[in-house]
Amino acid sequence: MQNKDNLKRCNKCQLPETYETIEFDSKGGCNICASATFKNAKIDWEDRKKQLDKIIEENRNKYSYDCIIPFSGGKDSVFTLNYLIKEYKIKPLVVRFNHGFIRKTVQDNVHTTLKKLGVDFIDFTPNWKIVKKVMLEAFKRKTDFCWHCHTGIYSYPIRVALMYKVPLIFYGEPLGEFSNYYDYESDKIDLENEEKFLMLRTLGITAEDMHGMINKSDDPVDIRDLSPYTYPDTEELKKLKYNPVCLGSFIPWDHHKNTKLIKKELGWKNDELEGVPDELNEHGEKIECFMQGTRDYVKYLKRGYSRVSQINSLNVRNNRMTPEEAKKSNEKFDGRKPPSMEVFLEYVGLTEEEFNQIIDKTVIPPNKPDYKSNKIAKKTRDFDDWYRENNKKK
Amino acid sequence: MIGIIDYGLGNLSSVLNAFKRINDKEDEVEVFSNSEEIKNYSKIILPGVGSFKAGMDLLNNRNWVPEIKNYVETGKPLLGICLGMQLLFSKSEEEGLSNGLNLISGTVNKMKIDKNLKLPHVGWNNLINKKKHPLLENIKEEIDFYFVHSYSCVPDKMEDIKAEFFYGKNFTACVGRENVFGTQFHPEKSMPSGMVLLKNFIDWKA
Amino acid sequence: MLKKRIIPVLLLQDGRMVKGKKFKDYVDTGNPISQVKIYTSQYTDELMFIDIQATVNSRKTLLNIISNSAKESQMPFSVGGGIKSLSDIREILAAGADKVLINTSAFENYDFIKKAVKKFGSQAIILGIDYKYNNEINQNRVWTHSGTTQTEAEPFELSKIYQDLNVGEIMLNSIDRDGMMKGYDIELGSKMSKTLEIPVILCGGGGNFNHLVEVFNKTEVAATACGSLFHFGDNSPMRARSHLKNQKILMRSIK
């Protein structure tokens, strides 16, 4: 198929060569599609379910809680919590690392879910001043300002597990759904362990690294301020025999089915997503964070694809869309500049030009971004509720 | 208990550390330097980097040669890694002709390669023509292992070749004869599949 | 077939990793131990540490880092920075490194290298050549002592002499391109890699994956050494391998 831009794409899911870990085969298909095919055809899900039954029983009633469930209020963690409680009647400790950009609908979803299911809940919000510092540093070095969120979400619940001495931790969606860091064929059970944390959650920068990078003599940073982003000690985790599994390794993950179920059983509500038409996001992807639009836009400038392409790639792999339909949809809707960008620039004290210059240094070839594009995303209805710093640089 | 021979050559700590990572089996492997103790071990690893002549001189000086040969006679498994695999052979032409342990019949020669290929053969290469062998279970042919050498082994008997690698032409990557096995590559440096091979060695009932 | 290698280079200063431009203006790039853990988790092909201070104290720190790294990590790694004697080499290899990188001492004393090869094997010795383009004479010149002392030697000619010392590999490092992220020296890299019979590692200038593609398509270089590529960019060794495979360059497979 002819592409408008110069990026080579998978002839099925349409993801481009700049997508991380994608590898094309001799027929023009990709390794992520191959993994999805394996998932649907070759995995003995009955056996996986038995493995899950076993893990649950091994942990039931032995510790202060049967398991830890990292939770955001988004579709995956709500589904995971709902599933484990309804299927197994376990006693979980639900843990949220609050990245600071939570939207109202998701907050309401959290309250409704927790009250309907009846669980203990811990909510942790890290120091905002430090968050701003690390956002800027991560953006300058890696053009990914979500460092605090990736590291927090994947280390904080593990720290809680250690604190409460609860070995079993349930994340939800496995990486095999959208990348080759883990694939359904070679890797069996997706573990959100230290290796995975170092491999991709840190973006190549640990908390110890980050401290040295932001600690300046005229603006010192206490090393303890980086502890919310620090993975716990390996030896302690070994002693605990920690087991951070993904529910999606034991039951086949289906985004649309999962969302339908939580809407029905818990009244989970969807929301608008900056830069994505409503009809493409009925399953409620990525509605938790109001910086999502900017995050997706950065990706578009760097790599030439964004959230619409990612959603459509999953649609193609799950036979909800043809490759041709995905291609048309991607070209029509992908890569809109988001209103949330001005909020981000205020937080980190950058102008749009500085923002573009930083991104330009790390564009992934052969992508060539168009900084002057006039495709703008619609403001979401909660835009005016978002926290502002009113720090606009001229 | 598996014993790693310390005869004065080779980065022993790498091999030891690799075993520590396999299901935390650190208490099942140890390094030893007294050749008389060889009989205490259920399995032996012969590591090594450097020259064949230097390796054999060290083995000869500390009485390793008869001890290793006797050990192999008893049927207990022996794994040779890199230079350790080369030392299993009858002789080598490196620095003049030297005799090896002669546990695998054949010679060690300088690799003869195309002009545009470089020596040493250093880096990642995959196995081809892999034969069925307990140590090579669950290892796909496309996976790469770490090699660093300029000499390669040529067994007299084709059936002793358990896997090859391609570098302009085919060379021996693994040899095996009864309870003896050798890898030209470094499994302890080739994660994660090197770990699979070492685990296969732990489980091997030769 | 033998694959191409990508080797992240970690520069050590005052116990931290750093990265500079043209061998100066160093910026903190992290804690050495956590950087080793990160590269290990990425199944990096090979790692190289260089102690840019090369003092007694920094050597102690370096040895500490090497032995910790050897425990954490099961990948090949090379170490350089002020290596002057056979006991330096022994100490570093005993701490857990697989190879040493020798630069100034090789230039000053070929005999030392001959002895090192004999004692430790050619596979353990990499000779480094740092160079800059001299605009007055329109030629490249070798620089020693961490890029502070210009010599009369020309890098390509020197590499041929080094090859005769029977070492394992040569690492060619462009000081002009260091940290600039504008691409490698394809011309010299190509000339050297096509002429020499030993592998060449090319260093200096890697900024994005296309630079790596260019090196492997246009030269016979065996490996690219990278610093800024991974410190300052949304890149990682795993992503690099996938990208290069898609460009039909043979790269290592893990699974």
CB B195 within 8 A of CB B203: no
Contact B11 C93 (CB under 8 A): yes
Identify which of C40, C222, C254 has the shortest CB distance to residue B118: C222
Using a CB-CB cut-off of 8 Å, the residues of chain C touching A364 are 208-209, 234-235, 243
Residue partners of C211: CB distance under 8 A and separation at least 6: C183, C184, C205, C224, C229
Q: Which residues of chain B have a CB within 8 Å of the CB of C159?
A: none
pLDDT score at A182: 85
> pLDDT class for B20, splitting at 50, 70, 90?
confident
- Map tokens 């392409």 to a residue: A309
Q: Enter the pTM of the model.
A: 0.94
From the list C37, C209, C231, the residue facing A365 with the nearest CB is C209
* Chain C interface includes A203 (CB < 8 A): yes
Question: Which of chain B's residues have a Cβ under 8 Å away from the Cβ of C68?
Answer: none
Neighbours of chain C (3+ CB pairs under 8 A): A, B
Q: Give tens-digit pLDDT for B75-117.
A: 999 999 999 999 999 999 988 889 999 999 999 999 999 988 9
Measure in Å the smallest separation between the Cα of C15 and chain A Cα atoms.
11
Strand pairing class (C16-21; B98-99): unpaired
Closest CA to A313 of A31, A3, A4: A31
Chains touching B by CB (3 or more pairs below 8 Å): C
3-state secondary structure of C71: helix
Helices (H) and strands (E) in chain B, counts: 5, 13
The alpha-carbon gap from B130 to the nearest alpha carbon of chain C, in Å, equals 15
The alpha-carbon gap from C78 to the nearest alpha carbon of chain A, in Å, equals 20
What is the nearest CA distance from C22 to chain B, expressed in angstroms? 28
**At residue B106, what are phi and psi to the nearest 5 degrees?**
155, 180
Instruction: Select from B119, B124, B186 the Cβ nearest to the Cβ of C5.
Output: B124
For chain A, how big is the Rg over CA atoms in Å? 21
Asked if B191 and C43 come within 8 Å (Cβ–Cβ), the reply is yes
Nearest by CB to A208, from C31, C209, C236: name it: C31
Distance CA A210, CA A213 (A): 5
> Smallest CA–CA separation between C255 and chain A, in Å?
7
Integer Cα distance of C83 and A385 in angstroms:
61
Residue B11 has pLDDT above 80, yes or no: no
Neighbours of chain A (3+ CB pairs under 8 A): C
Token duo for residue B64 = 């390793």
Residue B168: closest CA among chain C residues belongs to which residue? C1
The beta-carbon neighbor of B122 closest among C74, C93, C168 is C168
Instruction: Find, among C116, C73, C110, C128, the residue nearest to C92 by Cα.
Output: C116
What pLDDT is recorded for position B23?
A: 66
Q: Which of B67, B82, B149, B174 is catalytic?
A: B82
Q: Is B82 a catalytic residue?
A: yes
- The pLDDT assigned to A2 comes to 41
Residues of B in contact with C197 (CB under 8 A): 118-119
pLDDT at A394 over 60: no
Whether B94 sits among the annotated catalytic residues: the reply is no
Nearest to C45 among B14, B17, B124 (CB): B124
* Res C107: pLDDT: 97
pLDDT of residue C228: 95
Interchain contact A3–C (C-beta under 8 A): no
Residue B120 to residue B154: CA distance in whole angstroms: 17
C38, A183: Cβ pair inside 8 Å? no
CB nearest B167 (choices: C2, C45, C74): C2
Per CATH, is A45-249 categorized as 3.40.50? Answer: yes
Q: Is C28 on the interface with A (CB under 8 A)?
A: yes
Residues forming a β-bridge with C127: C102, C170
C209-218 helix and C237-246 helix, angle to the nearest 10 degrees:
50
Mean pLDDT, rounded, of chain A: 94
- Averaged confidence pLDDT in chain B: 93
C-beta of residue A67 within 8 angstroms of C-beta of residue A81: no
Find residue B32's DSSP bridge partners. B5
pLDDT tier at A1, thresholds 50, 70, 90:
very low
From C16, which residue of chain A is nearest by alpha-carbon distance? A212
Instruction: Report the C-alpha gap between A325 and A292 in whole angstroms.
Output: 24
Segment (H or E) for B180:
strand B180-183
What's the gap in Å between the CA of C165 and the closest CA on chain B?
A: 14
Query: What is the spatial distance between Cα A264 and Cα A224, in angstroms, rounded to a whole number?
Result: 43
Nearest Cα to A365, choosing from A29, A5, A31, A12? A5
C252 touches chain A (CB under 8 A): no
For residue B22, name the pLDDT band (cuts at 50, 70, 90).
confident
| pLDDT given for residue B24 in this prediction | 65
Chain A residues lying within 8 Å of C37, measured CB to CB: 198, 206
CATH class of B2-203: alpha beta
d(CA A296, CA A336): 9
Contacts of C30 in chain A (CB under 8 A): 205-206, 208-209, 212-213
Nearest CA in chain B to C221: B118
What are the residues facing C61 on neighbouring strands? none
Asked whether the beta carbons of residue B143 and residue C197 sit closer than 8 angstroms, the reply is no
Whether residue B174 lies in the annotated active site? no
Q: If you count residue pairs, one on A and one on C, with CB atoms under 8 Å apart, how many are there?
A: 89
Residue ranges, chain C, pLDDT below 70: none
* Distance set, CA A177 to CA A35, A47, C24 (Å): 8, 20, 44
Angle between helix axes A340-348 and A292-303 (nearest 10 degrees) is 90
On whether ipTM exceeds 0.90, the answer is yes
What percent of chain B clears pLDDT 90, i.e. is strictly above it? 81
Amino acid found at C116: A
Helix (H) or strand (E) holding B168: none
Pick the range with the lowest mean pLDDT from B132-141, B169-178, C65-74: C65-74
Residues of A in contact with C42 (CB under 8 A): 198-199
What residue ranges define each of the domains in chain C, with the CATH number in brackets? 5-246 (3.20.20.70)
Query: Mind listing the pLDDT tens digit for each residue in A66-124?
Result: 999 999 999 999 999 999 999 999 999 999 999 999 999 999 999 999 999 999 999 99
Over residues A213-226, the pLDDT tens digits come to: 999 999 999 999 99
Q: Which residues pair with A78 in a beta bridge?
A: none
- Asked if C55 is an interface residue toward chain A (Cβ–Cβ < 8 A), one would say no
Question: Does C16 reach chain A within 8 Å, measured CB to CB?
Answer: yes
Q: Report yes or no: A351 at the C interface, CB cutoff 8 Å.
A: no
A27 contact residues in C (CB cutoff 8 A): none
pLDDT tens sequence across A310-338: 999 999 999 999 999 999 999 999 999 99
Query: Across the interface, do C239 and A141 touch by the CB < 8 Å criterion?
Result: no
Nearest beta carbon to residue C71 from set B17, B118, B125: B17
C197: nearest CB among B13, B51, B118: B118
What residues in B contact C255, CB-CB < 8 Å? 140, 143, 192
Q: Do C41 and A198 touch (CB under 8 A)?
A: yes
Where residue A354 falls (left for φ over 0; alpha for ψ -120 to 50; beta otherwise) is: alpha
Tell which A residues from 316 to 345 touch C, by Cβ distance under 8 Å: none
Query: C34–A208: do the CB atoms touch at under 8 Å?
Result: yes
Residue A6, pLDDT above cutoff 90: no
With beta carbons under 8 A apart, name residues in chain C contacting A21.
238-239, 242
Q: C139 at the A interface (CB within 8 A)?
A: no
Q: Is B126 close to C122, i.e. CB distance below 8 A?
A: no
Q: Cβ–Cβ of A144/C234 closer than 8 Å?
A: yes
> C-chain residues within 8 Å CB-CB of A363?
208
Predicted confidence (pLDDT) per residue in A108-129, tens digit? 999 999 999 999 999 999 999 9
Which residue in B has a C-alpha nearest to residue C119's C-alpha? B50
